[in-house]
Structure 1
Amino acid sequence: MIRIMPDPNGSSTGSIEQRAAHVRSRANWMRRRLLKMIVDAGQGHPGGDLSATDIIASIYFDVLRIDPANLLAPDRDRFIMSKGHCTGALYTAMAGRGLFAEEELNTYLKPRSRLNGHPNRTYLPGVETNTGPLGHGLPVGVGIAVAGQIDDADYRTFVLTGDGELQEGSMWEAAMFAGHRGLGRLTVIVDRNRLQQGAKTEDTNGLEPLADKWRAFGWEVAGVDGHDHAALLAAFDDAALPRDKPRVIIADTHKGKGVSFMEDQPGWHHGVPNPEQYAQALAELEAEMA
């Protein structure tokens, strides 16, 4: 398989340590940039953005076969951000990959901006499907994967879902059908931070035993530290091997990862850091890369 280079400043080749170091650098940049976007816009979902940043950075800067000059290429890989409220992480990755100019990030959530609070494919090329109302991303991803199976295409379909989103019945209807069809080129990543708006997932509507549920629907299951870039890349590499089942990667994460006062705090599902908090967050993130 010919892989399109994921980033002009890096490579999807080399040792897994080299690849992970590149993704780590890009993820740190994403965290700093999305926090600025949220502060400038006066709104956003920093907790979920930061939770998913390492996963999204791994996908966009190492894994995803896309050509920024031809975003509708039939053989492109597809990525669906099912947890559609976490656009800070998505848009920074798209800009960093060259899908649009980084300067456009300054328009985040402003009137007439293409960078809505939820991704909209009508406005922004590179968005595969509109998401926002939870429970829609996986059904669309399954449809895309079925189309690829019928066409005997080699593109891969990736869907990133939040764990709270798995309380939607539509997700399990789609999962059941994907298992039935044996969609081996479909990969779902669960951002398993165990928090949703206002509470823990297990206090709201318990998901465990989560891995067993996916297996019962005919999926292969892998567990990974969702902030370990080398482990994430190894899981994505393994998912690319020929198989006759869809694969789910349950990524253990922390809401607000990288910013001490946000980590594992449900109150940061949405919110805006004040100037002192923003300065502290940037200092912590800059120290991480020192």
Structure 2
Amino acid sequence: MEQERVSELEKIASHIRMGIIGSVYHAKSGHPGGSLSIVELLTYLYFAEMKIDIKNPKWADRDRFVLSKGHAAPALYATLACKGFFSQEELKYLRHIGSMLQGHPDMKKIPGVDMSTGSLGQGISTACGMALAGKLQKKNYRSYTIIGDGESEEGQVWEAAMFAAHQSLANLCVIVDCNGLQIDGPVSEVGAPEPLDKKFEAFGFHVLHIDAHDFTQIAKAVNAAKRTKNCPTAIIAKSIKGKGVSFMENQVSWHGKAPNQEQYEQAIQELNAHMEKLERKGEKHD
């Protein structure tokens, strides 16, 4: 991927992070940690990869995306707003009574959301169903889903994996957000699902490893998944929970709480500083 394109995506990712922090702050609740860890993944999918139409969110031939770890909804909402599915102003009303942006994605109310999610383990199953429908109908669309490493402790994840491989769903790409933390603590101590790569391989997946915050690696992996025939792909994406906000990074306490005003201002200051750094970097390349 060309550096200019990487720089563009990095700036978009910074805007999305600001949207996450702002929405959770205004809601006074939410899940910032696991939202921040998937920003680059969502940025690449929505701004560089997936076939979608913001004017026709239900376009039959669009690529599908399912946020299986539905509590990371602030990341998806901020991404959809940046893409233009709805106004950025809506982010301020996350979890407010009457708002379309509730704590978990709702496909009936939110433009651009392909599946309502929230109960962990179920999203990957629906992504499999979408992939199978595309295969049976001989459609060219692809089905993407992001699951959490903590979520992979759910048995339904592996039932879905078995189904996907049995049906040879080469149009399915499962991305595992491996930030190492879940609500009760380190994933390795709570359920210890590793080695995830060997398990997905045993279930019949083509498995790839990437840095979840490196756009070049994300692009290579997604393109490799598209070239894979006769089996689904699992991308094991090593990430940092709370990525981009210094005091949230790798802190399990930020799994599900909102920043106060002082913390919000510090987070936005850090993100603005990062954006300015990206702008200066871009000017040097011009």
Check whether TM > 0.5: yes
Q: Answer yes or no: is 1:265 the counterpart of 2:251.
A: yes
- 1:108-138 CA-partner distances (Å, limit 9, x unpaired): 1111111010001111132111100101101
Partners of 1:119 and 1:131 within 8 A in 2: yes
1:19 deviates by 2.5
Partner of 2:106: 120
1:16 deviates by 3.5
- 1:56-106 CA-partner distances (Å, limit 9, x unpaired): 111111111100111111110000000001111100101111111222222
Partner of 2:217: 231
TM-score for the superposition, normalised by structure 1? 0.92
Gaps in structure 2 of 5+ consecutive residues? 278-286
Partners of 1:66 and 1:76 within 8 A in 2: yes
Partners of 2:26 and 2:93 within 8 A in 1: no
1:156 deviates by 0.5
Partner of 1:72: 58
Partner of 2:128: 142
1:242 deviates by 4.8
- Structure 1 residue runs of 4 or more that deviate by more than 6 Å after TM superposition: none
**Corresponding letter in the other structure for 1:203:** E
Equivalent of 1:168 in 154, 169, 182: 154
Equivalent of 1:214 in 196, 200, 225: 200
**Corresponding letter in the other structure for 1:64:** M
Change (3 A) 1:134 1:96: same
CA separation in 1, counterparts of 2:115 and 2:152?
19
CA separation in 1, counterparts of 2:108 and 2:120?
19
TM-score for the superposition, normalised by structure 2? 0.94
Partners of 1:19 and 1:62 within 8 A in 2: no
Partner of 1:11: none
**Helix, strand or coil: the match of 1:240?**
helix
Partner of 2:93: 107
CA separation in 2, counterparts of 1:247 and 1:39?
36
Q: Answer yes or no: is 1:23 the counterpart of 2:1.
A: no
Q: Answer yes or no: is 1:199 the counterpart of 2:185.
A: yes
Equivalent of 2:233 in 228, 247, 266: 247
Higher fraction of helix: 2
- 1:137-190 CA-partner distances (Å, limit 9, x unpaired): 011010111111111111000001011110111110010010111111100100
Partners of 1:183 and 1:246 within 8 A in 2: yes
Please, which moves more after superposition, 30-39 or 238-247? Answer: 238-247
1:49 deviates by 0.8
Partners of 1:20 and 1:233 within 8 A in 2: no
CA separation in 2, counterparts of 1:275 and 1:54?
26
Partners of 1:114 and 1:124 within 8 A in 2: yes
1:198 deviates by 2.3
CA separation in 2, counterparts of 1:110 and 1:274?
17
Q: Answer yes or no: is 1:40 the counterpart of 2:40.
A: no
CA separation in 2, counterparts of 1:46 and 1:171?
23
- 1:166-219 CA-partner distances (Å, limit 9, x unpaired): 011111001001011111110010000011002111101111111000000000
Equivalent of 2:242 in 256, 268, 271: 256
Partner of 1:190: 176
Percent identity among equivalent residues? Answer: 42
Gaps in structure 1 of 5+ consecutive residues? 1-14
**Corresponding letter in the other structure for 1:167:** E
**Corresponding letter in the other structure for 1:207:** P
CA separation in 1, counterparts of 2:269 and 2:94?
23
Please, which moves more after superposition, 247-256 or 122-131? Answer: 122-131
Partner of 1:5: none
CA separation in 1, counterparts of 2:121 and 2:228?
28
CA separation in 2, counterparts of 1:167 and 1:72?
32
**Corresponding letter in the other structure for 1:53:** V
Aligned residues: 276
